[in-house]
Homo-oligomer: A and B are copies of this chain.
Amino acid sequence: MSFTTLPASITAPQGFRAAGVVCGIKRLGTGKGSNKGPKRDLALLVSDLPAAVAGMFTTNQVAAAPVKLSIPRARQAFARAVVMNSGNANACTGAAGMRDAREMTKLVADQLDLTERSVLVCSTGRIGVPMPMPRIKRGILAAAAHLAASPENGHQVAEAIMTSDTRPKEIAVELVLAKQRVRIAGVAKGAGMIQPGMSLSGVRPAARPLHATMLAVLTSDAAVESRALKSSLAEAVANSFNRITVDGDMSTNDTVILLANGMARNPVLTLNPSSRPLLRKFQEALNHVALELAKMIVRDGEGISRFVTVRVSGARNFTDADAAARAVANSALVKTSWCGGDPNWGRILDALGYSQARVNEEKVDIAYSPPGSSQRIYAVQGGRPARTPFRRLCAAVAAPEFDLHIGLNLGKAKAVVYTCDLTEAYVDFNKGDIGNPSALGG
């Protein structure tokens, strides 16, 4: 790999300051999610210089106000700041919600002497509840007053966006581009309502189903031209956040924002052929950052006990490979069998059979392996039970992390989906929360 891992903090790249504060949104909720974890619930991230910006947003038709506001701002060439909150998704809040989202960015702009349009916003938490703007205003003022480039302040951001997450999710890497040290860092949150399907425009790219709230904010001090940055983020998200599913529910608030402020002084990365080798190196590091954060989201999925990488190969085309992998990854019966450590390949074949992918039972191979291993412990070969002793299959599935290899043997297309089991703890966590007149989720 052409990059090294640094101590994680979103402020690791040069020229970024951040702060996360307690403003009391979470305290308003009596939801299970809102009582877990740290109490910080508002964060601010600022680039000292105008940064090239890119954003990917939920394709849910019921998109939250902060998503609607941030989409056009992420289409701009540059931005300066991102304000984030947990505890309230500002989703299904109508015109008032749009005013509140805009007000949040205006408050930040006023405090930091920026233009309103250079500030993006993301929210996560309860759906359908008005934003508690007096608290949020106090929070923004406090965050703006405490901005710093310290790792501590970076960690505050990772904490402030948590909802049902049990731990913060952060990463930072460093690479060298034409002798200049360049850093990329990120924070993310997830836990439930996780099957993102994001696009640059928030518009679904195809008639194909795409299906959390997950938020991620990435920073870099690389010098990257805006169009190249948008293209790089789209590739990174396509292979990471858009490849995960906890429960198959796509959120109203999914957002990934990347700011790159150029302070590393590398030669500016563009889409020109001459820039390709350096852009590729940047892309590899960005892909790594996005994939590691995406996997952290699945590993911290609500109530999970197993992390499973579903690898489909031999499909006729990518659409089929993706459909097959998602049918298996989202099957209630497959997910519950993993919870019990049961190598129930019958349910896997069943899910493949009802997927939208072309499947020929007699050609299907199903095998397990340790994560990333080239070993294959076959459960099914050519549609028929393999001769593997049952206790070996059980041992493969008993591991907290394993790969499931599905060979359709009908073509050359592949797809990977990162997922988890379905447990009683998931049901218990999500089975409602009477006495809380709200709707945790976005």
Contacts and interface: CB of A to CB of B under 8 A. Distances in A.
Interface residues of A, number: 75
Interface in A423-442: 423-424, 426-428, 430-434, 437-442
Given A331-B249, A342-B433, A347 B61 contact: no
Most buried by B among A338, A380, A423, A439: A439
A428 B421 CA distance: 12
Most buried by B among A89, A250, A349, A426: A349
Given A333-B249, A340-B433, A441 B354 contact: no
Interface in A41-64: 59-63
A346 B442 contact: yes
Interface stretch (A177-185, A224-232, A382-390): A382-390
Interface in A152-170: none
B349 A62 contact: yes
A76 interface: no
Prevailing SS type, chain A contact patch: loop
Interface string A349-364: 1111110101111100
B333 A193 contact: yes
A80 interface: no
A350 B252 contact: yes
Contacts of A252: 349-350, 353
B346 A439 contact: yes
Contacts of A422: 332, 427
B61 A354 contact: yes
A349 B390 CA distance: 43
A66 interface: no
10 contacts: A62-B349, A91-B346, A93-B384, A209-B354, A247-B333, A250-B354, A340-B432, A344-B440, A346-B438, A424-B424
A347 B349 CA distance: 30
B394 A339 contact: no
A87 interface: no
A248 interface: yes
Contacts of A380: 92, 128
A339 B62 contact: no
Nearest to A394: B434
A39 interface: no
Given A251-B350, A345-B439, 5 more contacts: A92-B384, A92-B385, A249-B332, A423-B427, A424-B424
A94 interface: yes
Contact of A441 (B251, B347, B434): B347
A295 interface: no
A350 B442 contact: yes
